[in-house]
């Protein structure tokens, strides 16, 4: 068993030792209880993420669980619920802009690459991915119950399809498929 698996087991054991295990099925088992339906659901996501090798989802699940267990859910969860996706997009966009800002990719290289079919297809794919992501954010806001299914699908994809759980890479993956199909 991996170190992460042992740590997860210890965490689950400590949660169940400090609470009455028969209360797990209830929606809420008291303000000071560590066991709730929400915490159990997050533990399941954490376990699946660790099993599937999906570190970003594992870290996120552990962070949410830790915030909840420390009683920081009331001040932090509404903020994350309202701003979390935007914060993530800002961090991701900043990471994408680093090659430009660092000079690793020059302005001349960008302009020169606009003459290539592959680059133009990459621009179109970027536009499509952002369009789909925008629709996805709207859908998840309207139907938050789908988040769990998407997380499970992401974890299964990482574990069994050798995928990576990063949205913009989906566009690049689709682009790679198009390149192969049309030998571009």
More confident residue, 6 or 25: 6
pLDDT of residue 9: 60
pLDDT band at 64 (very low <50, low <70, confident <90, very high): very high
pLDDT of residue 27: 43
Question: Two tokens at 152?
Answer: 């499970």
Question: Two tokens at 136?
Answer: 């996805």
pLDDT band at 67 (very low <50, low <70, confident <90, very high): very high
Looking at the structure, tell me whether residues 125 and 175 fall in a common domain: yes
Reported as a single tens digit per residue, the pLDDT across 91-148 is 988 998 999 999 999 888 888 889 999 999 989 988 888 788 777 777 777 788 877 7
Here the contacts of 177-184 (C-beta below 8 Å, separation 24 or greater) are: 178/121, 178/125, 179/118, 179/121, 184/117, 184/118, 184/121
Q: Which helix (H) or strand (E) holds 18?
A: none
- In a domain? residue 88: no
In contact, 12 and 43? CB cutoff 8 Å: yes
% of the chain surpassing 90 pLDDT: 20
Residue 152 pLDDT > 70: yes
Question: Two tokens at 134?
Answer: 């925008």
- In a domain? residue 116: yes
Mean pLDDT of the chain: 77
pLDDT of residue 148: 76
- In a domain? residue 79: no
In contact, 65 and 43? CB cutoff 8 Å: yes
In contact, 35 and 17? CB cutoff 8 Å: no
* N-to-C CA span, the chain: 44
As a residue count, the chain comes to: 184
Q: Residues near 71 by Cβ (< 8 Å), separated by ≥ 6?
A: none
Residue that terminates a domain, selected from 26, 55, 71: 71
Residue 26 pLDDT > 50: no
Residue 4 pLDDT > 80: no
Tell me the average pLDDT across 41-62: 86
Residue 181 pLDDT > 90: no
In contact, 167 and 154? CB cutoff 8 Å: no
Looking at the structure, tell me whether residues 128 and 177 fall in a common domain: yes
pTM of the model: 0.58
In contact, 184 and 117? CB cutoff 8 Å: yes
pLDDT band at 21 (very low <50, low <70, confident <90, very high): very low
Domain of 16 in residue numbering reads as 1-71
Alpha-carbon distance 54 to 151, whole Å? 10
Cα separations (Å) of 49 from 58, 59, 62, 70, 88?
Answer: 5, 9, 10, 22, 19
Looking at the structure, tell me whether residues 65 and 1 fall in a common domain: yes
Looking at the structure, tell me whether residues 59 and 132 fall in a common domain: no
Cα separations (Å) of 175 from 126, 133, 163, 179?
Answer: 9, 16, 15, 6
Residue 166 pLDDT > 70: no
């Amino acid at each position: 068993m991996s170190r992460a698996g042992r740590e997860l087991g210890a965490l689950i054991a400590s949660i169940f030792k400090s609470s009455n295990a028969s209360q797990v099925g209830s929606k809420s088992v008291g303000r000071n209880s560590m066991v709730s339906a929400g915490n159990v659901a997050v533990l399941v996501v954490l376990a699946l993420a660790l099993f599937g090798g999906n570190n970003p989802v594992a870290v996120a699940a552990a962070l949410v669980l830790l915030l909840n267990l420390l009683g920081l859910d009331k001040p932090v969860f509404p903020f994350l619920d309202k701003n979390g996706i935007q914060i993530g997009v800002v961090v991701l966009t900043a990471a994408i802009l680093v090659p430009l800002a660092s000079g690793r990719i020059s302005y001349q290289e960008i302009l020169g690459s606009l003459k290539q079919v592959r680059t133009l297809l990459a621009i179109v794919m970027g536009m499509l991915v952002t369009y789909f992501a925008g629709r996805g954010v709207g859908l998840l806001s309207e139907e938050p119950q789908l988040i769990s299914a998407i997380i499970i699908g992401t974890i299964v994809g990482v574990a069994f399809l050798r995928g990576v759980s990063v949205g913009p890479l989906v566009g690049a993956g689709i682009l790679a498929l198009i390149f192969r199909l049309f030998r571009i």
